[in-house]
Amino acid sequence: MNKEKGQISVNTENIFPIIRKWLYSDRDIFLRELVSNAADAIAKLERLEALGEFTRPDGDQPKISVEYDSDAGTLVIEDNGIGMTAEEIRKYINQIAFSGVMDFVEKYKDKGAETEGIIGHFGLGFYSAFMVSDRVRIETLSFQAGAAAASWESDDGMAYEMGDCDRAARGSRITLTLSEEGREFIDGAKLREILDKYCGFMAYPIYFSDVIADQKRHEQAEKDAKEAAKKARKDAKEKGEDEDAAEQKALADAAGRPEPGPINDTTPLWLKKPSECTDEEYKSFYHKAFQDYRDPLFWVHLNLDYPFRLQGILYFPKTDNLYESLEGRIKIFYNQVFVADNIKEIIPEFLFLLKGTIDCPDLPLNVSRSFLQNDAYVSKLSTHIVRKVADRLNSLFKDQREQYEKYWQDIGVFVKYGMMRDEKFYDRVKDIALFKTVDGEHKTIADLGDTLLYTPDAKQQVAYVRMARERGLDVLVMDHDIDNHFMSFFEYKQNGKKFKRVDAELGGEEGSSDRLEAVQALFRKATANDKLEVKMQRLGEKSLPAMIAESEESRRMQEMRKQFEQMKSDGDDGMDIDSLFPLQQTLVVNEDQPLISRLLALAEVPGKEEQASHLARHVYDLARLGHGSLTADDMAEFLRRSTDLLTELSQ
């Protein structure tokens, strides 16, 4: 073939949506595209083989090679796929965004060709090579009988030169001469990292070679072999054995080391039918894919042909109800090629609390991300995934209730967050949402009345909890950050249900009104708070002498106060937090407690007024301690005062 020169023809109608997408892509996407193109070439050849258009020679197996030479500054991607003729180079390389895949499918559609397993759609992936290269060269030989090997070379992605080459093997070899920036970005470890990320589960075996590093390892292996042979001769001589035989055996053992295999897993677990997978396989895949040493709790295996072609595995990880980083938890694949993490158009945000892989060959990846968001297919796909997750939870609740309750410590945050974020998910799981009581029981909303008594800390509010249980009431534990929002949400959705903290209503009869004035005066003086709300109730002799009561409305206002205080600390100093969110607590004095009667009597003894006030303040702080509202400074004062009181008693 004569030398040929020309300018690349740009199909602007096709390229602009792709450019917009790529402006937000990482630089390492170039390797995914080039290896995907290599896989494309192999997939096309397999289609032709299935159609009887090609006969594969004996021993010929699909293979993709990636070779990096740091000294030469080159990166080579080679395949033994369909190859190209010079005319096909002109058509698919010289015209940007003219998709070779779509042309291939159109050509063979009457013979039953399908796109499954063929990755490329854009016809632009090849040009990503210029993101890291000063020069790109193609050497290719088509599968067609009698085809001549052809070459293509360009320094800038626009001007090119075509010609013949001496390639004798079917397939294509792409050589990137790395730019200065490319050399800074790329090394052997980085390339292996990119391949693991994007191509770790690709359908065809990928062999990676770091030429210089491999050469050094080979030299070290030869050195080690010589040392082993030398030692073997010495040992044989000491034992009176055949030295030559010992040396040859040592050299043979060294030479028998296996050659490096493919770096990818061509048959990931999600491709198998759920009935063919064991629990150990699920766990092993989870550990490998997510680098989590803990076993997952359970999983959902997605394997569908209709209404979507979809395969994948979603895992419920062990979290102990703690938030973790959501980065890279749901990995999206397209025909076993990694596309992206956590695509919210496909996976609702609340599902990011799970970990998993989803492979969908029908994703509209040839459109912009904004269109993906509104694509009817993607919306239906997302809805279906949510339904499958909800169905799995319902199945566990129905068939393995005891196990489901054990899982709740880890999955509770996920279920509650999902209920708040997704209406359809809420509808499917609202009846299986669990509420744990202080006694360790798990109840559904159907097991509870209209008033849901709860505590954020059963240990700190033990006195309140004990009193409620003595009254035969269930006390729920709502101790996660998300629970404050969830309770308000649930009340809204479950009209008539109300959450009330255990300290909002203490029970007991009203105390004597004739003693109330004296009690109010004593505690207001002790706390230096003339507006302190004080009331008398009969709570029983075994209860604390005083307790703090706070309405549920006030408690929620204080939660809002915390948020506004953060805003104030961020610079909004004009807010009057105290006026917006006044603290509304009531000191409930237990008339049944003998200490209260003694305290009132002491206050009436001339000269003992200060001592009575001192003790009253201690009773008040004791109530705040049990309530959970004692500040750090007041706690220090409480401890100091406790020491003084103990000292007085010991004298």
Q: pLDDT tens digits, residue range 55-101?
A: 999 989 999 999 999 999 999 999 999 999 999 998 888 876 555 54
| pLDDT of 152 | 96
Six-digit token string for 360: 């969908």
Does 305 score more than 50 pLDDT?
yes
Please determine, for residue 272, whether its predicted confidence score (pLDDT) is greater than 90: yes
Using CB atoms within 10 Å of the CB of residue 216, give its burial: 0 to 12 exposed, 13 to 18 middle, 19+ buried: exposed
Say yes or no: 302 and 367 in one domain: yes
Rounded CA gap, 133 and 223, in Å?
36
Cα(181)–Cα(178) distance, rounded to whole angstroms? 8
Q: Answer whether residue 263 shows pLDDT above 90.
A: yes
Nearest to 545 by CA among 506, 591, 514, 504: 591
**Owning domain of residue 220:** 213-255
Over the range 165-183, which residues count as b (16 or more CB within 10 Å of their CB) and which as e?
Answer: bebeebbbbbbbbbbeebe
Q: What mean pLDDT do residues 97-122 have?
A: 52
Please determine, for residue 328, whether its predicted confidence score (pLDDT) is greater than 60. Answer: no
Q: With respect to residue 595, please indicate whether it lies within any of the assigned structural domains.
A: yes
Q: How far is CA 209 from CA 76, 166, 188, 587, in A?
A: 10, 23, 8, 75
Average pLDDT estimate for 553-562: 70
Q: Identify whether residues 89 and 230 lie together within a single domain.
A: no
For residues 51 and 193, state if they share a domain: yes
Q: Which of 348, 370, 398 is the last residue of a domain?
A: 398
Which CATH number characterizes residue 301's domain?
A: 3.30.230.80
Residue ranges in 81-179 assigned as alpha helix (H): 86-92, 100-108
Between these two residues, 260 and 270, which has the higher pLDDT value? 270
- Do 293 and 187 belong to one domain? no
At residue 581, the pLDDT reads 62
Model pLDDT, residue 390: 96
Q: Is residue 217 part of a domain?
A: yes
Task: Give the mean model confidence (pLDDT) for residues 128-154.
Answer: 93
651 or 298: which leads in pLDDT: 298
Query: Residues 159, 16: one domain?
Result: yes
- pLDDT (0 to 100) of residue 275: 93
Task: Tell me, yes or no, whether 339 and 394 share the same domain.
Answer: yes
What is the mean predicted confidence (pLDDT) over 29-44?
91
Between 100 and 501, residue with greater pLDDT: 501
Rounded to an integer, what is the distance from CA 594 to the centroid of its chain?
57
Please compute the mean of the pLDDT values over residues 181-207 and round it to a whole number: 94
CA distance 143 to 330: 39
Residue 629 or residue 389, greater confidence: 389
Residue 651 has pLDDT above 80, yes or no: no
291 and 247 in a common domain: no
Domain ends where: 398, 413, 436?
A: 398
369 in Cβ contact with 399 (< 8 Å)? no
Mean pLDDT of the chain: 84
Written in H, E and C, the secondary structure of 274-327 is HHHCCHHHHHHHHHHHHCCCCCCCEEEEEEECCCCCEEEEEEECCCCCCCCCCC
Least confident of 4-8, 250-254, 478-482: 4-8
pLDDT-derived band at 367, boundaries 50, 70, 90: very low
Percent of the chain with pLDDT over 70: 85
Of 175-184, 437-446, 589-598, least confident by mean pLDDT is 589-598
Helix (H) or strand (E) holding 358: strand 355-359
**Which residues, including other chains, have CB under 8 Å from residue 407's CB and lie 6 or more apart?**
297, 298, 316, 396
pLDDT at 618: 92
Least confident window among 473-477, 557-561, 593-597, 608-612 = 557-561
Residues 602 and 640 in one domain: yes
119 pLDDT above the threshold of 60: no
Specify whether 314 is located in the same domain as 228.
Answer: no
Q: Are residues 179 and 285 in the same domain?
A: no
> Would you state the pLDDT for residue 347?
83
* CATH code at position 596: 1.20.120.790
One-letter amino acid identity for 510?
E
- Mean pLDDT of the 220-233 span: 86
Grade residue 368 by pLDDT with cuts at 50, 70 and 90.
very low
Both 288 and 324 in one domain: the answer is yes
Grade residue 549 by pLDDT with cuts at 50, 70 and 90: confident
Mean pLDDT of 251-260: 74
Q: Does the structure show a pLDDT above 70 at 570?
A: no
Q: How confident is the model at residue 107 (pLDDT cuts 50, 70, 90)?
A: low
- For 523-532, the pLDDT digits (tens) are 999 999 998 9
Amino acid at 417: Y
CA-closest candidate to residue 520, choices 501, 533, 537, 506: 533
Whether residue 27 has pLDDT greater than 80: no
Q: What letter represents residue 306's amino acid?
A: Y
At residue 564, the pLDDT reads: 64
Instruction: Give the HSE-up count for residue 6: Cα atoms under 13 Å, Cβ half-sphere.
Output: 14
Tell me whether residue 562 is in a domain.
Answer: no
Exposure letters 126-160 (e unless 16+ CB within 10 A, then b): bbbbbbbbbbbbbbbbbbeeebebbbbbbeebeeb
Would you say residue 73 lies in a domain? yes
pLDDT at 627 over 80: yes
Mean pLDDT of 300-306: 88
In this prediction, residue 117 carries a pLDDT of 47
When divided into structural domains, the chain yields a total of: 4
Token pair for 438: 């202080």
Does a structural domain hold residue 494?
A: no
Beta strands in 22-69 (DSSP E): 64-69
- Who wins on pLDDT, 17 or 361? 361
Residue 192: is its pLDDT beyond 70?
yes
Report whether pLDDT(19) > 50. no
Position 447 in a domain: no
Does the structure show a pLDDT above 70 at 111?
no
pLDDT of residue 218: 84
Residue 181 and residue 251 in one domain:
no
Q: Provide the pLDDT for residue 147.
A: 94
Query: Is residue 500, in this structure, part of any structural domain at all?
Result: no
Query: What's residue 369's pLDDT?
Result: 36
